Amino acid sequence: MNVFNKINQYEAPTSDLVALPPVSVIVCSWNEIRNLEELLPMLDTQEYPKFEIIVVDDRSYDGTYDFLLTEAHNFKHLRFIRIEETPEHLSPKKYALTLGIKSAKYDVILLTDADCRPQSSTWIQSMASCLTKGKEIVLGFSPYFPEKTTLNKFIRYETLLTAVQYFGLALYGMPYMGVGRNLMYRKSLFFKNRGFAKHTNILGGDDDLFMNDVANEQNTTICLDEASFMYSIPKHSWQDWYRQKTRHISVSKHYKTNHKLTLGIIASSQILFWLSFIILIPLVMFSQLVYCILGFWLLRLIVQWVVLGKINTRLDRTISSYSIPYWDFLMTVYYVVMGVVNTLPKRKKMRWR
């Protein structure tokens, strides 16, 4: 918890930038015409001195290309690229991203997805102001729009917990991933490390695997300014969400060993915490040991509740802080179930989602 509490203690350093750098915002799109119709006006009217928007249309057949052809002149900052065919054995998303980054005019790249919406008109400015001297990567936060369904609440809690981990470990000096819905890095860093060459044939990982390779204590920082938050549209069915999560978890197999070990310890400690309550306490219910176990259990629960509650408030109240213990228990079930699922063989498909 001390590692994660660094998020509550974090204060962004005063920017040492003489002038904000020009930024290339890149959005990869596959059959996202409805989302682009909403997102592009929000991006085009960002309050920032110099930026461009690059939409990479990857073989869309929903009218996206026609929309971009006819409407591009209405957007001051927009350029677009059309992909007709993806080379075999290459991840379509990574290929699209690589083309977008290659075509970018500026060294600072800011990534998001078509189904995202910026929290404010100063999203670019907020992220870019964190790219201080010596930093090449800015990890942003991308929560999901709230809905009243159980699935949505669980997705929001899982997103909060993931952010707590990658922000907390980044502040601890061990950055291991980022979220491509809100991620900034330098074009020069991308090509210096040969882009996605190490993981070209893996469907996912355009954000977390690349960060796992290139992020370190010296070149990485985080952005917790509310104006930098990029909201996203969540999955609406358990099946779609399950497919997304199994892909994400399978990608994590390719993390560096120390990162996998650290994340494994975090997940295991949570599982053991709840198992101690479910199994150990009933076993020692009528002995003096029950007070000791229950005391440690309650202490850990309260400390976690307070720390996560404060982080939750700082991250735009992603969920109700009162519900943290409930969702924490369900996350334990999730860890166990997905851990088993992740050991099963899977068929590889080159799909976006």
Condensed to tens digits (0 to 9), the pLDDT of residues 120-158 reads 999 999 999 999 889 999 999 999 999 999 999 999 999
Residue 89 has pLDDT above 80, yes or no: no
Least confident of 27-36, 205-214, 285-294, 301-310: 285-294
Q: What percent of the chain has pLDDT over 90?
A: 64
pLDDT-based confidence at residue 199 (cuts at 50, 70, 90)? confident
User: Residue 264 CB: number of other CB atoms within 10 A?
Assistant: 12
Interhelix angle 257-275/150-171, rounded to 10 degrees, is: 130
Question: Chain-wide mean pLDDT for the chain?
Answer: 90
Least confident of 5-19, 35-49, 232-246: 5-19
Q: What are the φ/ψ torsions at residue 185 (nearest 5 degrees)? A: -155, 170
Mean pLDDT of 71-76: 94
Q: What's the predicted TM-score (pTM) here?
A: 0.91
Using DSSP, how many helices (H) and how many strands (E) does the chain show? 13, 9
In whole angstroms, give the CA distance from residue 90 to residue 266.
Answer: 33
Residue ranges of the alpha helices (H) in the chain?
A: 2-9, 33-44, 64-71, 92-103, 123-128, 150-171, 187-192, 208-214, 238-252, 257-275, 281-283, 289-314, 324-341
Residue 64 has a pLDDT of: 96
Q: What percent of the chain has pLDDT over 70?
A: 95
pLDDT-based confidence at residue 23 (cuts at 50, 70, 90)? very high
Handedness of CA 110, 113, 119, 120 (dihedral sign): positive
More confident of the two residues 197 and 84: 84
Mean pLDDT of 233-255: 86
In whole angstroms, give the CA distance from residue 306 to residue 291.
Answer: 22
Least confident of 19-33, 72-86, 121-135, 334-348: 334-348
Residue 275 has a pLDDT of: 85
Residue 344 has a pLDDT of: 65
Q: Is 152 helix (H, G, I), strand (E, B) or coil?
A: helix
| Residues 52, 77 contacting (CB under 8 angstroms) | yes
Residue 161 has pLDDT above 90, yes or no: yes
Residue 350 has a pLDDT of: 47
Handedness of CA 14, 17, 20, 26 (dihedral sign): negative
Q: Are strands 51-58 and 23-29 parallel, antiparallel or unpaired?
A: parallel
Residue 341 has pLDDT above 80, yes or no: no
Six-digit token string for 344: 């099963």
Six-digit token string for 227: 């104006």
Residue 215 has a pLDDT of: 96
Identify the helix (H) or strand (E) that includes residue 220: strand 220-222
Mean pLDDT of 163-190: 96
Residue 25 has a pLDDT of: 98
